[in-house]
Amino acid sequence: SEQMRDWAFHTLNLSSEFRGRRRVVGNVNFAVSPGEKRRTIFDAETGQQLPGKLVRSEGDPPSNDEAVNEAYDSAGSTYDFFYEVLERNSIDDRGLRLDSTVHYGVKYDNAFWNGDQMVYGDGDGEIFQRFTKCIDVIAHELTHGVTQYEASLKYFGESGALNESMSDVFGALVKQWVKKQTADQADWIIGEGLFTEKVKGVGIRSMKDPGTAYDDPVLGKDPQPAHYKDLYSGVKDNGGVHINSGIPNKAFYLAATAIGGYAWEKAGKIWYIALRDRLRSSSDFKSAALIISQVAGELYGEGSNEQKAVQNAWEQVGVSL
């Protein structure tokens, strides 16, 4: 019966508990089959109380509010990407419900994962438009949830920049997967179209050319380095988590384009297995480069073109193995 199949899955899935280091927390649901996503969208109505008023649940028809529908649809695409491409059942790999709150705060210029759910501001309309506009921004926030359940990369310094980079990597991959773009066809811009037309910039970060996404009188210039020699070592931004992520972002871009084809098929899989099974909360760039290169060798063979592409990519950004 249907119920037997669910129990069979969950019995099997329990053994995967010991595959990596897994935490068993959150809203685990034993009644839902793998691949069946559950989304709920809440409206904070410009307040800051979370989660806010429930406005759309799984299977409900679209709302009249485009932010609600964008949060719902892109959370769905992100779930589908992780399930179909990486065989992961939601953020915790146990079917966690995906909760999102839209219209958080007044003119709130950010989106974030708060440890339990996604939260999206409407933007101030001067610099930023609403944060649900971009699927890669939504997938970025959801990936913070995945990282929390897996490597749990400490949100400071190099481990924090790796945490940020993982969110950009899977943010970009979800967008490319939905658009069916190869590594060569993709723009590798995070948050393309998120700025208003007043801002001089194409998006919030470029994985292909870190440091070039914007150069604007109000915002200033994109501060991301593309090479380890330009690592930011100050204390701003948790030790530059959104700044130094340019370095591992560029390494991913270089590896994915050297391998060629759809970036999620090989490069994405290598990075994901490293995130799920190998990286630790205190991993730095050098240890991540080593681990990711090892995973490439395990998946595609020692000395394979895939492994060489990954090793070369890290060397090109100044992180020697």
Q: From the CB of 58, what's the least distance to Zn ion, in Å?
A: 25
- Beta carbon nearer to ligand ASN, 240 or 297: 240
Residues 25 and 317: their CA atoms lie apart, in Å, by 37
Q: Which of 94, 168, 108 is nearest to 138 (CA)?
A: 168
Q: From the CB of 245, what's the least distance to ligand ASN, in Å?
A: 9
Contact with ligand ASN (CB under 6 A) among 46, 110, 181, 312:
110
H helix or E strand, kind and range, residue 289:
helix 285-300
Strand order in the sheet with 53-57: 53-57, 39-43, 98-102, 118-120, 111-113
- Beta carbon nearer to ligand ASN, 36 or 109: 109
Here the tokens at position 61 are 């028809």
- Beta carbon nearer to ligand ASN, 88 or 242: 242
Q: From the CB of 154, what's the least distance to Zn ion, in Å?
A: 14
Contacts of 26 (CB under 8 A, 6+ apart): 91, 92, 94, 96, 116
Name the H helices within 24-156. 66-86, 135-149
Q: What angle do helix axes 66-86 and 135-149 make, rounded to 10 degrees?
A: 50
Instruction: Give me the catalytic one of 141, 150, 158, 164.
Output: 141
Whether 103 sits among the annotated catalytic residues: the reply is no
Q: Could you say whether residue 141 binds ligand ASN (CB under 6 A)?
A: yes
Whether 141 sits among the annotated catalytic residues: the reply is yes
Q: Could you say whether residue 111 binds ligand ASN (CB under 6 A)?
A: yes
Q: Could you say whether residue 156 binds ligand ASN (CB under 6 A)?
A: no
| Region from 62-70, 120-128, 139-147, 172-180 binding ligand ASN, contact rule CB under 6 A | 139-147
CB under 5 to 8 A by kind: which of ligand ASN, Zn ion, none does 287 bind?
A: none
Instruction: Give me the catalytic one of 10, 103, 140, 242.
Output: 242
Residues 37 and 59: their CA atoms lie apart, in Å, by 10
Q: Could you say whether residue 283 binds Zn ion (CB under 5 A)?
A: no
CB under 5 to 8 A by kind: which of ligand ASN, Zn ion, none does 282 bind?
A: none
Contact with Zn ion (CB under 5 A) among 167, 176, 206, 283:
167
Q: Could you say whether residue 304 binds ligand ASN (CB under 6 A)?
A: no
Could you tell me what percentage of the chain is helix, strand and coil, using 3-state DSSP and rounding each to the nearest 5?
Answer: 45, 10, 45
- Cα–Cα distances (Å) from 95 to 4, 249, 268, 307, in that order, read 17, 28, 21, 32
H helix or E strand, kind and range, residue 190:
strand 189-190
Please identify the residue of the shown chain whose CB is closest to the bound ligand ASN. Answer: 112
- Residues of this chain that bind ligand ASN (CB under 6 A): 110-112, 140-141, 144, 164
- Residues of this chain that bind Zn ion (CB under 5 A): 167
Instruction: Name the residues annotated as catalytic.
Output: 141, 242
